[in-house]
């Protein structure tokens, strides 16, 4: 009896040691995979612990919450198990825990741009995504893509010369019009005659309201402002879009091995947007986080300076609505030679007359950058297919009617 008890204890200890060894081996294997992808460290908030009797569905919901927070993707299981996870997890990185739970229950996952999907190992896929078992996993990505929403972001980069604007005797401000679009109000000083409007502004009629397109034409015609660019991009909901008008420059740097490499930096006017579509009742709302940067590079003898103005915010727009980003300005310094013509440009060795009849004037020009944004919904693939089918049906009905009409005429 004593001998049997001793044997039972030995077998139990051996099984526990093997389980601990397998667990540590799985952790080490997962750590090596993370290191290969550049994720070699994590915070304490990314660690999870589960008892083996925790229901599978409850554990997957907890891991999905962490996945949304750190990977920006939920974990989806169309047919979750009704059993427990059947494995003990102590202070595991959340993705390692997910893989261990799935491996234990003969499951695995496939990763897309928007989510992780769990499927049984060995199922045949429609799109041919391999699983650890050498087979494939089922994922209906076509339906996800067909129902995905897209947003078209139209931009206007407008640069206004504030010096010329003040000289014209006018000021302006942007306001929200009666419809979804923006408008501009010009305010002229008293009794200022200006050829912008071809009238003399008086105290009783010195305000003029125009739409954005008319304002842009006024700015360009009078050389008060300049439209730098009119970029447009279509972004899938939840993804980032980036627009840049400028150049990338490189700086010689050393990498971790001591090799000299070229590291590139972006300058100019850069706009980053990440639109997200929400539905409130029957109203579609576009949540538009944006980041606008205006920068110029100044190479120096010791180091390279980047002059930067940056604005970051978040706007909520309706379909077709406009907004703007302002407050980004630059000061341009230019040395201008002024004085008596011809004499001011004489060489310095000619009795020094250039210093008597002329002087160098520092001209500082401030230019404000205004970015106009417009967000428009793009119909989904599903809606576009319906519209295409309608057009085809209309065309077929028209051809059928023409054919029937032709047959009637031939019979007559």
Rounded CA gap, 74 and 260, in Å? 41
Neighbours of 264 (CB within 10 A): 9
Report residue 47's pLDDT band, with 50, 70 and 90 as the boundaries.
Answer: confident
Report residue 200's pLDDT band, with 50, 70 and 90 as the boundaries.
Answer: very low
Residue range 99-120: average pLDDT? 86
Rounded CA gap, 261 and 253, in Å? 5
Report residue 19's pLDDT band, with 50, 70 and 90 as the boundaries.
Answer: very low
Q: Is the pLDDT of residue 147 over 80?
A: no
Report residue 299's pLDDT band, with 50, 70 and 90 as the boundaries.
Answer: confident
**pLDDT reported for residue 103:** 87
Q: What is the rounded average pLDDT for all residues in the chain?
A: 75
Of these ranges, 16-20, 237-241, 400-404, 405-409, the one predicted with the greatest mean pLDDT is 237-241
In 3D, which of 151, 143, 112 has the Cα closest to residue 276?
151
**pLDDT reported for residue 360:** 83
CA angle 71, 77, 82 (to 5 degrees): 130
Neighbouring residues of 225: CB distance < 8 A, sequence distance ≥ 6 = 158, 159, 160, 161, 165, 216, 219
CA angle 114, 118, 120 (to 5 degrees): 150
Instruction: Pick the range with the lowest mean pLDDT from 132-136, 191-195, 276-280.
Output: 132-136
Report residue 135's pLDDT band, with 50, 70 and 90 as the boundaries.
Answer: very low
Residue range 131-141: average pLDDT? 44
Neighbours of 72 (CB within 10 A): 11
- Calculate what percentage of the chain has a pLDDT beyond 90: 3
Neighbours of 334 (CB within 10 A): 9
**pLDDT reported for residue 165:** 80
Rounded CA gap, 202 and 183, in Å? 22
Rounded CA gap, 103 and 119, in Å? 11
pLDDT per residue as tens digits for the range 343-390: 788 887 877 778 788 888 877 778 888 888 899 988 887 777 777 777
Report residue 410's pLDDT band, with 50, 70 and 90 as the boundaries.
Answer: confident
pLDDT per residue as tens digits for the range 254-276: 766 677 878 888 888 888 999 99
Q: Is the pLDDT of residue 179 over 70?
A: no
CA 30 → CA 2, 34, 62, 180, distances in Å?
42, 6, 20, 52
Q: How far is CA 215 from the centre of its chain?
A: 29
**pLDDT reported for residue 189:** 58
Look at the pTM and tell me if it is higher than 0.75.
no
Structure tokens at 10: 């030995």
């Amino acid at each position: 009896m004593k001998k049997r008890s001793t044997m039972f204890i030995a077998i139990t200890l051996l099984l526990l040691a093997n389980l601990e060894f397998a667990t540590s081996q799985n952790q080490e294997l997962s750590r090596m995979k993370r290191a290969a992808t550049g994720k070699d460290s994590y915070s304490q908030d990314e660690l999870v612990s589960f008892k083996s009797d925790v229901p599978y569905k409850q554990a997957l919901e907890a891991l999905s919450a962490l996945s949304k927070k750190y990977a920006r993707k939920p974990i989806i299981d169309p047919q979750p198990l009704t059993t427990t996870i059947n494995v003990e997890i102590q202070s595991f990185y959340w993705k390692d825990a997910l893989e261990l739970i799935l491996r234990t229950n003969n499951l695995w996952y496939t990763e897309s741009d928007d989510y992780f999907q769990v499927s049984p190992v060995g199922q045949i896929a429609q799109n041919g995504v391999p699983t650890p078992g050498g087979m494939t996993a089922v994922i209906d990505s076509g339906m996800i893509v067909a129902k995905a929403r897209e947003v078209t972001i139209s931009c206007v980069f407008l640069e206004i010369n504030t010096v010329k604007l003040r000289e014209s005797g006018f000021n302006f401000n942007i306001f929200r019009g009666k419809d979804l679009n923006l408008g501009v109000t010009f305010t002229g000083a008293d009794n200022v005659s200006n050829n912008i409007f071809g009238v003399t502004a008086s105290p009783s009629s010195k305000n003029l309201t125009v739409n954005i397109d008319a304002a842009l034409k006024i700015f360009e015609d009078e050389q008060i402002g300049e439209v730098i660019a009119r970029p447009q991009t279509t972004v899938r909901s939840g993804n980032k879009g980036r627009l840049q008008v400028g150049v990338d420059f490189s700086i010689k740097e050393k990498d971790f091995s001591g090799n000299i490499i070229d590291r590139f930096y972006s300058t100019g006017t850069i706009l980053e947007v990440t639109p997200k579509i929400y539905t409130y009742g029957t109203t579609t709302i576009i949540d538009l986080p944006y980041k606008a940067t205006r920068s110029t590079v100044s190479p120096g003898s010791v180091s390279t300076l980047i002059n930067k103005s940056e604005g970051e915010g978040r706007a909520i727009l309706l379909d077709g609505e406009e907004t703007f980003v302002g407050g980004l300005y630059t000061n341009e310094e230019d040395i201008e030679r002024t004085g008596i013509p011809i004499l001011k440009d004489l060489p310095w060795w000619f009795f020094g007359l250039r210093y008597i009849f002329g002087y160098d004037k520092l001209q500082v020009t401030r230019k404000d950058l205004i970015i106009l944004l417009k967000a428009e919904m793009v119909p989904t693939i599903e809606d576009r297919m319906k519209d295409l089918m309608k057009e085809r049906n209309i065309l077929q009905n028209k051809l059928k009617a023409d054919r029937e009409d032709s047959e009637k005429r031939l019979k007559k």
